[in-house]
Structure 1
């Protein structure tokens, strides 16, 4: 059979006044729609078990297994848009109309849907008020007893090209039903869900921080380090999407529902486990969980000598790959089997990495981490990763001036980078650090090459994607940076507040000022004390001629950092073309701000 008839809950959405918005600035509206789909719409559809049948440029046709799911999805999207539109002038708001109907549809062989069920939903969307949801009578009766909603009965409406009148109910999003008691009215406003991401079209996994079962808090670094090594090994597999450490470790120490974690991170499976270290023995337990069913795909326990810990990591990785039915390429298999170093050298490296990548960064952390990296090298002088750790520490010292000799830090970093690349050319972390070093050394071509090398070894390396994007921004190809930075956000959503600054920078350098300003506003919302994003927001507003708003943003910036200097800030950035720097300064000059 080429088609199937069925009853389905159909949701149709559309942007109000899309032609007007696109006519004013098509690049901006497309950038905002792309961000909304990635951060709000697609994740919300996924968590409510919807299927996007097709998109229509500014709208979508979505099938749900129940009307309750469809309405809950619509409410969350519309409430999310209320928050995102807050503070924006009317000509920059994006408002959706949503129509929902339960009816008979025809499913084509390719999955497309047709018939009255689709047509009625589309016509309901067309008569909606901006930001509203319209339900047919059939849909309304499915949800009236299940959801506490404020409903306006609009009576029977003759819809275009629909033979019989349809009784229409309009849902006032976020407004409690008047007939309900106060307690129920409070429950009527849906709690904003945690950020959720759409599932990729390939196997995907998040590795939660392994629990330290050693009874010694000082062994926490070891459990975290082994977890990160497992993440790194899995990340080498091109057929697997792996969430970065920053994002999976955000759940550390919390009582979590694995299925909720998977929904928030947009993965199909989750690995959790524990580590017990006692003397020269280590016990690792791990279990791979199917996020949809909550069932175990694989579980095992490993009791080994500490010297065999690398073999255990490799075995865990291979067992996960087998459980997910992923076929490794010969080069991927070889990388997973590579022997790294001695257990003592690795131990010192883990301690140094834990210190340098912690939330506190100062001179004390710099001195502690470099001492630990040096001890790792003393244990194994052919171990490249601690040399890369030293290089990164020196780059950070050059940026933050922790020591009196900070001006010599890039020279020291270069020596460490060279040694790291000589000793561990097969390690993505080494190439990532090299990319960062060459970026600040203003060798953009070499920085790009090193970022590419890191991604060839580890296609899931979020920070390397971001680094590659940054090189494109400063190298004069800002639009080419966007896919890389968006992929960094997908792989590492916990660092979205950082990556979104660079995404805004890409649009800013490209001259897409509306899109840039929207992204910088979002960064300020996520990181309220940022001075850099405020400076660049003022630049974008200056180019848009919004002098009053640019001045307000600049005053906020100076309250946060009274010593801020735009010339000093931009002067440190490794732009290849002075014209790009001049164009940024021009945005401030246009509205009388110091450039």
Structure 2
């Protein structure tokens, strides 16, 4: 092995994986063209040696650090001119790092800390920019017509000691200047004893204050509402729109959302969920107070300003324990460069917190959601609408924005996943004013499938698919999809919540509680719909002390939501609070008078038997009837056998529902039926099972068979009707047509 002093230049393409996914062959061709037409001639001109290319980067050795920097400057200037006329998806931007130090030479290759430092410095350069080490700066600071911006001492991965780093400023007005360096303060004479005490104090402070590590002061840590996780924990506070135009609020919120989502994909980070940071966003107080309430070590804050095609973003990463800023950056870019800015911010956070990425995480972070910024804008608007439980107008607006995004970019996976999320809510909660349950189920399946076809690691689509598979009775597949969602986005509270629900309904109660606790730690101030979900999980797992407060909070926000009253009715009663249980049962029956145990038994037929009976027993004890509208038929009046068969063979029923709706229903000899009312016209099939009339109508009640009984109307609840037909969904009074 040989050792000698050398100047090392390392260059790397910004967002290479993302560009490759857009156009793999074209990106590679452009990289090779840059190597041949730009780097090659400049390296030769300044007597450098190309040691090797490294995928999307290159390593070069120079005898002179001045020559190395001259090469880097000319390369970046030439690239800037080239990129100015190129479409954004065809621009290759390089970060360049230059260091001066001792290297190890092995054949044609070089190694050592000096090479590693050059690589770490390269990551601190801006896209299209150059960063150099302190030793390199000391040699070139007065020899080139450029300026320098000091970044101070930086602690970087795998290098024991902090290193001085400078960015090159190519503005001619900055030539020969170094900005960002603290001037020496005027010295004051102090007594020797005082100086000694101050020295000891400063030494102690130096041992304590290490802003790049996870060492905490006891006083600061004890203020936290939750114990700190065993990994770097971050809250991305809502970016502030300083444009003076509320039209751009959704852009600031969208940037916040996207940073949270992307950082949530990194397994080495713990990231607080969107709702909790937005809930606290308007709360006055210091950063330390916000961090204490959320239980995190680091806080990211920023501002956004859009003026026409220009976008200005200021962002800062703060160590909330010490109160010190770890990293700050100002971006003044074209709006079209929004994704590049996001990539850079995420990369700097990961670098600042020394988080190691897996190859899969690198690939996921390199993806851009869409190449169409108008589609992205509609997507952001959909996301900002949110999904308010049982708010039909919000659903409609949200769906329209997602669909506009897809119309502009059919390959926008996140927009397809958004539609899947809305559709699965409509399906689960039977919001038939949007779609029938069966149509919503199909839309959810199709949209989730399309999202996963475009992005196999889309956490939202995986979570939706898991819920669909659970209700279809495919427990193993549901668990697999739910676990994949968590793996794809390890800080996604929604993914953990859905996993917990699936665990609860497949009999894994203890693990369901563990996963839901993780979800609530990630989202300590969850929205009402998530409070309800958490309450259902704890209730199913037989932990009503935690379930009831969550469901009560959801009830206060969602007073007209059926599941809130349904589950609180059972939870209160099972806990022994019959008065509150009865009150909730009365509210449930007032809002939804056709609520009944038979219906819930059908609805939850995918639950394990012991869980279903636990729920039905609680509702029964609170007074929820077996059949809709409190119907109780006498055994002697029930129609069965040949008499029942005769009622549904080539016969027509004419009558009214309990709610007053007129209907007519025809049955042929082959088991087919046609039903008509003022607002419904459907066909289906029938069969008789154990003296029950069973019907299936495509698009209704999840496409399931629904069975009920027919009784002679001896009680004369409707004096004009001969019979009563009761099912989990309806109570109908009818007579046979002549």
The question of a shared fold, defined as TM-score above 0.5 by the shorter chain, is answered with yes
Q: Report the Cα distance in structure 1 between the residues aligned to 2:567 and 2:389, rounded to whole angstroms.
A: 26
The superposition leaves residues 535-576 of structure 1 with CA deviations (integer Å, 9 ceiling, x where unpaired) of 434434544555455435534655676665455456434633
Q: 1:321 aligns with which of 326, 350, 354?
A: 350
Partner Cα distance (1:406, 1:469) in 2? 24
Which whole-Å CA distance do the structure 2 matches of 1:539 and 1:435 have between them? 26
Task: Compare 260-269 and 476-485 and name the one that shifted more.
Answer: 476-485
Structure 1 equivalent of residue 375 of structure 2: 345
Query: Which is richer in strand?
Result: 2
Whether the aligned pair in 1 keeps the contact of 2:421 and 2:464 (CA below 8 Å) is yes
Out of 509, 520, 537, the residue aligned to residue 548 of structure 2 is 520
Shift of the alpha carbon at 1:480?
2.1
Give the CA deviation at 1:286: 0.5
User: Offset of 1:317 from its aligned partner?
Assistant: 0.7
Corresponding residue of 1:434: 465
CA RMSD of superposed structures (Å): 3.0
Find out whether 1:233 has 2:262 as its counterpart: yes
Match of 1:583 among 614, 633, 648: 614
Distance in 2, matches of 1:301 and 1:457, equals 30
Q: Deviations over 1:38-67 (max 9, x none)?
A: xxxxxxxxxxxxxxxxxxxxxxxxxxxxxx
Asked which structure has the greater RCO (Cα within 8 Å, sep 6+), the reply is 1
Q: Structure 1 residue 309 and structure 2 residue 338: aligned?
A: yes
Q: Helix, strand or coil for the counterpart of 1:413?
A: helix
Gaps of 5+ in 1: 1-192
Select which of 240, 246, 249 maps to 1:217: 246
Q: CA deviation at 1:294?
A: 1.8
Aligned to 2:492: 461
Listed as ranges, the matches of 1:416-431 within 5 Å are 416-431=447-462
Q: Which of these residues, 323, 329, 332, is aligned with residue 294 of structure 1? A: 323
Flag the structure with higher helix content: 1
Question: Corresponding residue for 1:366?
Answer: 395
Distance 1:361 1:547 in 2: 28
Deviates more, 1:398-407 or 1:259-268: 398-407
Count how many residue pairs are aligned between Structure 1 and Structure 2.
399
Q: Is the 8 A contact 2:318 2:326 kept in 1?
A: yes
- Residues 491-530 of structure 1 aligned to structure 2 (within 5 Å): 491-495=522-526, 498-499=529-530, 501-510=532-541, 512=542, 515-521=543-549, 523-524=551-552, 527-528=555-556, 529=559
Matched, 1:397 2:426: yes
Structure of larger gyration radius? 2
What is the DSSP-based 3-state SS (H/G/I as helix, E as strand, rest coil) of the residue aligned with 1:494? coil
1:504·1:517 contact (CA, 8 Å) conserved in 2?
A: no
Shift of residue 238 of structure 1? 1.2
**8 A contact 2:388–2:394 mirrored in 1:** no
In the TM superposition, residue 195 of structure 1 has moved relative to its aligned partner by 9.4
Q: 1:570 to 1:228 in 2, by over 3 A?
A: farther
The question of 1:242 aligning with 2:271 is answered yes
1:480 to 508, 511, 516: 511
CA distance in 2, matches of 1:574, 1:313: 45
SS at structure 1 position matched to 2:526: helix
Local SS of the residue matching 1:493: coil
Gaps of 5+ in 2: 1-221, 627-738
Q: Which residue of 2 is the match for residue 143 of structure 1?
A: none
Aligned-pair CA distance for 1:588 = 3.7
Of residues 179, 199, 203 in structure 1, which corresponds to 2:232? Answer: 203
Shift of 1:247: 0.4
| Change in 2 beyond 3 A, CA 1:416/1:358 | closer
> How far off is 1:518 after superposition?
4.9
Deviates more, 1:413-422 or 1:545-554: 545-554
Q: State whether residues 479 and 506 of structure 1, in contact with CA within 8 Å, keep that contact through their aligned partners in structure 2.
A: no
Partner-residue secondary structure (3-state), 1:495: coil
Q: Is the 8 A contact 1:504 1:519 kept in 2?
A: yes
Q: Distance in 2 between matches of 1:205 and 1:461?
A: 13
Aligned mates of 2:466, 2:590 — CA distance in 1: 34
Which moves more between the two structures, 379-388 or 432-441? Answer: 432-441
**Separation (CA, whole Å) in 2 of partners of 1:491 and 1:424:** 24
Contact 1:223 1:275 (8 Å CA) reproduced: yes
